Amino acid sequence: MSQLENEIKILIIEALGLEDITPEDIDSHAELFGDGLGLDSVDALELGLALQKRYRISIDPETRNMRNHFATVANLSEFVSAQRGA
How many domains are there within the chain? 1
Q: How far apart are CA 42 and CA 47, in angstroms?
A: 9
Q: What is the CATH number of the domain that holds 10?
A: 1.10.1200.10
Q: 53 in helix, strand or coil?
A: helix
Confidence of residue 86 (pLDDT cuts 50, 70, 90): low
Residue-range definition of the domain harbouring residue 27: 3-85
Q: What is the pTM of this model?
A: 0.91
Q: Could you read off the pLDDT of 48-76 as tens digits, one per residue?
A: 999 999 999 988 878 788 889 999 999 99
